[in-house]
Structure 1
Amino acid sequence: MTVIAPNTGESRVATSFHGWLLVATCWLSSTGAVLIAPVLPLMRREFADTPHADLLTVIALVVPGLMIALFSPVVGAIVDRVGRKRLYLTAISLYAVAGILPWWLTNLYAIVASRVFIGLAEAAISTIATALVANYFSGTERQKWLTLQHASASIVAVAMFSIGGVLGSLSAGWRTPFLIYGCAIIFLPLIVKFVWEPRDAEPASPVAARLPFPWREAGPLSAFILFASVMFFVVPVQISFLITARGVSEPAVIGLGGAIANAGIPIGSFMFHRLARWPINRLLVIAFALLATGLFTIAQLPTVYTTVAGAFVAGIGSGMVLPLLGTWLIARLPFEQSGRGTGCYMGAFFLGSFLSPLLVAFLAYRGGGLIAAIGQFGVACAVVAALVLMLALVKKGAVSSVHAARADRAPLA
Structure 2
Amino acid sequence: MANFSIKKAGFWQALVVILLNQLPMMAIVALMPALPTLMGHFRDVDNKDLLVPMILTAPGICIALIAPFAGVLVDKFGRRKLLIWFTAIYGLGGILPFFLDGFNTVITGRLLLGIGEAFVLVIGNTLLGDYFAPKDRSKWLMVQGFFGSIAAALLLALSGQLASIGWNFPFLVYGISFFITILAVIFIFEPEEKFTSEIDSVSSETKFPVNTAIMVFLITLGFSVIYFVYTIHFSRALDAMGIKDPKHVGNLGAIASTAVPLGALIFKLVSKRPFWQQMALIFLFFTIGLAGIGLAKDTTSAVAVGWIQQLGCGMTIPVLVAWALSLLPVQYRGRGMGFWTSAFFLGQFVNPIFVSSIGKLVGNVQDTFLATGIICGIVFIIILLLNIFSKKAIN
TM-score bin (small chain)? 0.7 to 0.9
Aligned position for 1:376: 371
Equivalent position amino acid for 2:254 in 1: A
Trace 1:13-412 onto structure 2 (pairs within 5 A): 13-36=8-31, 58-105=53-100, 109-168=104-163, 173-198=166-191, 199-202=193-196, 208=204, 210-211=206-207, 213-248=208-243, 254-300=249-295, 302-394=297-389, 396=391
SS of equivalent to 2:189: coil
Instruction: With a CA cutoff of 8 Å and minimum separation of 6, indicate the structure with the bigger relative contact order.
Output: 2
Q: Report if aligned partners of 2:36, 2:235 keep a CA contact under 8 Å in 1.
A: no
Q: What's the C-alpha RMSD, in Å, of the aligned pairs?
A: 3.4
CA distance in 2, matches of 1:303, 1:33: 25
Larger radius of gyration: 1
Give the percent of matched residue pairs that are identical in Structure 1 and Structure 2.
Answer: 30
Aligned position for 1:8: none
Q: 1:239 to 1:220 in 2, by over 3 A?
A: same
Q: 1:395 to 1:305 in 2, by over 3 A?
A: same
CA distance in 1, matches of 2:169, 2:53: 18
Q: Report if aligned partners of 2:294, 2:366 keep a CA contact under 8 Å in 1.
A: yes
TM-score normalised to the size of structure 1?
Answer: 0.81
With 175-184 and 291-300 compared, the bigger mean Cα shift is at: 175-184
Q: What whole-Å deviation, never above 9, does each CA across 1:14-45 have from its counterpart, x for those lacking one?
A: 21221111110222222133435556777788
TM-score normalised to the size of structure 2?
Answer: 0.84
Q: Report if aligned partners of 1:56, 1:108 keep a CA contact under 8 Å in 2.
A: no
SS of equivalent to 2:82: helix
Equivalent position amino acid for 1:210 in 2: T
With 338-347 and 248-257 compared, the bigger mean Cα shift is at: 248-257
CA distance in 1, matches of 2:32, 2:379: 32
Equivalent position amino acid for 1:17 in 2: W
Q: CA deviation at 1:329?
A: 1.2
Q: CA deviation at 1:143?
A: 1.9
With 257-266 and 99-108 compared, the bigger mean Cα shift is at: 99-108
For structure 2, the 5+ residue unaligned runs are none
For structure 1, the 5+ residue unaligned runs are 6-10, 400-413
With 364-373 and 239-248 compared, the bigger mean Cα shift is at: 239-248
Q: CA deviation at 1:79?
A: 0.6
SS of equivalent to 1:197: coil
Q: What whole-Å deviation, never above 9, does each CA across 1:247-280 have from its counterpart, x for those lacking one?
A: 5556665444322322223321221112212222
